[in-house]
Amino acid sequence: MSETDREAPLLDKKDVIAALEEIALRLELSGANPFKCRAFQNGSRALQSYEGDLAEGLESGELAKLKGIGKSLITEIRALLRSGEGPTLQVLRKELPAGLMDLMRIPGLGPRRVRMLYEELGITSLGELEYACNENRLVQLDGFGEKIQDKVLRGIEVVRRFGGQHLLADGWIASDKVREALEALPGVSKVEIAGSIRRRKEVIKDVDVLVATEDPAPVHEVFCSMDWVDEVTARGETKSSVRLSTGLQVDLRTVSLEQFPFALAYFTGSKEHNTRMRRRAKERGLKLNEYGLFVQDQMAMRASEGSALVVRMRVDEFSGAMSLACESESDLYSALGLHYVEPELREDLGEIAAAEEGRLPSLVTQNDLRGVLHNHSNWSDGANTIEEMARAAQAMGLEYLGISDHSRSAVYAHGLSVDRVLRQHDEIDALNERLEGFVVLKGIESDILPDGSLDYDDDLLERFDFVVASVHAGFSMSREEQTARCLRAVRNPHTSILGHPTGRLLLTREGFDLDLRAVIEAAAEVGCALELNANPHRLDLDWRELRYAASCGATISVGADAHRSSGLQDLRYGVGIARKAWLGTGDILNCLGVKELRTRLRARL
Average pLDDT, integer, range 55-60: 84
Please report the pLDDT score of residue 102 as a whole number. 82
User: What sign does the dihedral 321-322-324-325 (CA atoms) show?
Assistant: positive
Percent of the chain with pLDDT over 70: 93
Please report the pLDDT score of residue 10 as a whole number. 57
Q: Looking at the whole model, is its pTM more than 0.85?
A: no
> For 298-302, 364-368, 395-399, which range has the lowest pLDDT when averaged over its residues?
298-302
Calculated CA dihedral for residues 475, 477, 483, 485, nearest 10 degrees: -80
User: What sign does the dihedral 389-390-395-399 (CA atoms) show?
Assistant: positive
- Residue of 242 and 106 predicted with greater confidence: 242
456 φ/ψ angles, rounded to the nearest 5 degrees: -130, 165
Please report the pLDDT score of residue 398 as a whole number. 98
Residue 90: pLDDT above 50? Answer: yes
Spatial contact of 540 and 533, defined as CB atoms under 8 Å apart: yes
Please report the pLDDT score of residue 7 as a whole number. 42
- Residue of 83 and 91 predicted with greater confidence: 91
Residue 299, strand partner residues = none
Residue 532: pLDDT above 60? Answer: yes
Average pLDDT, integer, range 288-304: 77
Residue 308: pLDDT above 60? Answer: no
- Residue of 244 and 481 predicted with greater confidence: 481
Kindly give the pairing relationship between strand 239-244 and strand 556-559: unpaired
User: What sign does the dihedral 453-456-461-464 (CA atoms) show?
Assistant: negative
Please report the pLDDT score of residue 1 as a whole number. 36
pLDDT tens for each residue of 561-588 = 999 999 999 999 999 999 999 999 999 9
- Dist CA 85 CA 94 (whole Å): 12
What's the CA angle centered on 391, arms 386 and 395, to 5 degrees?
150
Average pLDDT, integer, range 291-298: 84
CB atoms within 10 A of CB 285: 17
User: What sign does the dihedral 377-378-382-388 (CA atoms) show?
Assistant: positive
The three-state (H, E, C) secondary structure of 450-492, written as one string: CCCCCCCCHHHHCCCCEEEEECCCCCCCCHHHHHHHHHHHHHC
pLDDT tens for each residue of 161-171 = 656 789 999 99
Average pLDDT, integer, range 228-248: 89
Please report the pLDDT score of residue 4 as a whole number. 34
> For 230-239, 486-495, 529-538, which range has the lowest pLDDT when averaged over its residues?
230-239
Residue 294: pLDDT above 50? Answer: yes
pLDDT tier at 603, thresholds 50, 70, 90: confident
Please report the pLDDT score of residue 345 as a whole number. 98
Average pLDDT, integer, range 243-256: 91
In a 3-state reduction of DSSP, which class is residue 241?
strand
> For 133-142, 266-275, 282-291, which range has the lowest pLDDT when averaged over its residues?
133-142
pLDDT tens for each residue of 505-514 = 998 888 999 9
Residue 317: pLDDT above 60? Answer: no
pLDDT tens for each residue of 375-393 = 999 999 999 999 999 999 9
Residue 318: pLDDT above 60? Answer: no
pLDDT tier at 85, thresholds 50, 70, 90: confident
pLDDT tens for each residue of 454-475 = 999 999 999 999 999 999 999 9
* Length of the chain in terms of residues written: 605
pLDDT tier at 213, thresholds 50, 70, 90: very high
Please report the pLDDT score of residue 581 as a whole number. 98
CA atoms lying within 13 Å on the CB side of residue 186 = 0
Average pLDDT, integer, range 280-289: 93
> For 29-33, 158-162, 205-209, 433-437, which range has the lowest pLDDT when averaged over its residues?
158-162
Please report the pLDDT score of residue 8 as a whole number. 45
Mean residue pLDDT of the chain comes to: 90
Percent of the chain with pLDDT over 90: 64
pLDDT tier at 320, thresholds 50, 70, 90: low
Please report the pLDDT score of residue 310 as a whole number. 44
Q: Which domains does the chain have, with CATH numbers?
A: 3-159 (1.10.150.20), 166-255 (3.30.460.10), 260-357 (3.30.210.10), 366-602 (3.20.20.140)
Please report the pLDDT score of residue 600 as a whole number. 94
Please report the pLDDT score of residue 111 as a whole number. 86
pLDDT tier at 11, thresholds 50, 70, 90: low
> For 135-139, 369-373, 479-483, which range has the lowest pLDDT when averaged over its residues?
135-139
Average pLDDT, integer, range 275-286: 94
pLDDT tens for each residue of 98-115 = 788 888 878 778 888 998
